Structure 1
Amino acid sequence: MSQSITPTQLEPSLSPDKAIKSQIEPSNNELGNLIQETLALTKRLFIQLQRRPSTLVAGIIQPFMWLVLFGALFYNAPGGLFGEDLNYAKFLAPGIIVFTAFSGALNAGLPVMFDREFGFLNRLLVAPLASRYSIVAASTIYIITLSLIQTAVIVVASAFLGAGWPSLAGLSAITLIVFLIVLGVTALSLGLAFALPGHIELIAVIFVTNLPLLFASTALAPLSFMTKWLQIVASLNPLTYAIEPIRYLYLNSQWGLGSPVLESPWGTISFSGVLLILLAFDGLVLLTIQPLLRRRFA
């Protein structure tokens, strides 16, 4: 009479080391899969850019035209109008740098929206991804990289147009500031891409908010030139908190975290203060879009 052998009798017992290893490996594999998915999706976006480079070219040509045209418009402005020993090219360059990064980040939701409409996003959502947040991470990395490339081009172009060069430490600080403003605006645009019904509505939001936010900031004129109500609006605009520290870096080779960079209606704000405000803006946007992304990814 043969004895029946249960499956558990055939399984070898795991040693304590192997048991611990089996518990650790899944988490490491999940992290590796997340990185791999994010890199693959980011590569896809850059392949699209390589095939259609008009987005990058237009994103460089437009701010360059702003630099040339506005520089020519205020070429004969009275000396000292924008400050002592300050030409308009040097005043305008920080505003164009931030506006270029802002415009690119505001368009970040369009590729995701087109993926939604063409059905590619649905394929990603039903795929066995380690995390669906890799879709958002890939778009964020892509937009930040484009914004930094455009920023570098505008910094070089503005130097040839008379704005000069910030110090090496100043260039590093500009990179950090551009990163912070692009991160928040990109997250906001991606949230809109999941919230709005189609690309027509998203494009409408972009057109409605783009230029008003530019003119309601200190990109083209200082706060002292504005009426009282516009000064308050500009002081609530996150673009102002990215423009003013960059402008300070252009005008001052010696600077620190305690340097006063903005005279707002409610007081003087230091360099570290504007960085904290930009961080708070990023955190607020990320917390706001989290419930929306969870519902869309569910």
Structure 2
Amino acid sequence: MSQTVSPTNPSARGALQTARSNPVGDFVQETLALTKRLFIQLQRRPSTLIAGIIQPLMWLILFGALFQNAPQGMFGDNINYAQFLGAGVIVFTAFSGALNAGLPVMFDREFGFLNRLLVAPLSSRFSIVVASAAYIMVLSFIQTAVIVTAGAFMGAGLPGGLGLATIALITFLLVLSVTGLSLGFAFALPGHVELIAVIFVINLPLLFASTALAPLSFMPKWLQVVASLNPLSYAIEPIRYLYLHGDWSWGSVVMQAPWGDVTFGGALGVLAGFAALALLSIQPLLRRTFA
């Protein structure tokens, strides 16, 4: 005889609820809803996106003008500074945006909205983190598209379709890792003042200790070592290689570090490893926060 589903039959009611539940679908729905909330906030305060687009354009224009009369061959044979600088601006813009990813979460903490989410019947509280990462990822791709387009008009050229897809992959790996670290700071630090201080301390030093503005050969030996350890350099140099070489492969040498040559595939491997390390490092903190 078949079992009747009724309010007085707990086992049947539980089976029906289990059959109707869809953890993956619920997680996706929650993530989309939380991501939409962040874009609604952006729509109400569009100055954030506008500033994020104007700043890299100013870098391109001002630094491009500053070095337009640089000696021939300073940045390489038959390379103008717009071609050299474009990769650095793309990476630094994505890095800066990802480094700020923890600020919305920190403000949610301070205003009490995060506590409401933590007590809400979410299928997974990790949707809070994934939504923040998705939001920053979209903004980074928008900024990257604007920079690539502006750079093309300024004489930097335009990589082919596969090259553009590879730039998107490099940007994704960098943003994923830095966003993870920023969200970790947001859950670990006591308030937004401390988080902003950390962002200021990290931001510009990592820029100047990379190959964004000058080649390794232009730096003193100690700074060459620092720049060769900087993850930003492993994102900048492959993108720069794509701009300067129509033919490339995973074995192409993109950077000559003090300890040896770094290939295209090796640089992407470093970025993937950095992303995995960053995400693994924040797991204990997230589990403690979401427990």
Mapped pair 1:41 → 2:41:
no
For 1:125 and 1:91, locate their aligned partners in 2 and report how far apart those are by CA, in whole Å. Answer: 46
Q: 2:222 aligns with which of 200, 222, 229?
A: 229
1:133 counterpart letter in structure 2: F
1:293 matched residue in structure 2: 286
1:216 matched residue in structure 2: 209
2:283 counterpart letter in structure 1: Q
Mapped pair 1:69 → 2:68:
no
For 2:76 and 2:28, locate their aligned partners in 1 and report how far apart those are by CA, in whole Å. Answer: 48
Structure 2 vs 1, CA of residues 23 and 10 (structure 1 numbering), >3 Å: closer, same or farther? closer
2:135 counterpart letter in structure 1: Y
For 1:23 and 1:268, locate their aligned partners in 2 and report how far apart those are by CA, in whole Å. Answer: 58
For 2:187 and 2:17, locate their aligned partners in 1 and report how far apart those are by CA, in whole Å. Answer: 35
Q: 2:94 aligns with which of 101, 108, 129?
A: 101
Larger Rg: 1
Number of aligned positions between the proteins: 283
1:279 counterpart letter in structure 2: A
Q: After superposition, where does 1:137-286 map in structure 2 within 5 Å?
A: 137-286=130-279
Secondary structure of the residue aligned to 1:262 is strand
2:9 matched residue in structure 1: none
Mapped pair 1:123 → 2:144:
no
1:65 counterpart letter in structure 2: M
For 1:179 and 1:25, locate their aligned partners in 2 and report how far apart those are by CA, in whole Å. Answer: 36
Secondary structure of the residue aligned to 2:155 is helix
For 1:23 and 1:272, locate their aligned partners in 2 and report how far apart those are by CA, in whole Å. Answer: 48
Q: After superposition, where does 1:24-63 map in structure 2 within 5 Å?
A: 25=19, 29-63=22-56
Q: CA RMSD in A?
A: 1.8
Q: CA deviation at 1:257?
A: 1.2
Secondary structure of the residue aligned to 1:268 is strand
Normalized against structure 1, the TM-score is what? 0.92
Secondary structure of the residue aligned to 1:269 is strand
1:180 counterpart letter in structure 2: L
In structure 1, runs of 5+ residues without a counterpart are 1-8
1:235 counterpart letter in structure 2: S
For 1:10 and 1:256, locate their aligned partners in 2 and report how far apart those are by CA, in whole Å. Answer: 64
For 1:31 and 1:211, locate their aligned partners in 2 and report how far apart those are by CA, in whole Å. Answer: 40
1:3 matched residue in structure 2: none
Secondary structure of the residue aligned to 1:163 is coil
Deviations 1:144-194 (A, max 9, x none): 000000000000111111111111111010000000000000000000000
Q: 1:133 aligns with which of 119, 123, 126?
A: 126
1:90 matched residue in structure 2: 83
Normalized against structure 2, the TM-score is what? 0.94
In structure 2, runs of 5+ residues without a counterpart are 6-11
Secondary structure of the residue aligned to 2:22 is helix
Q: CA deviation at 1:22?
A: 6.6
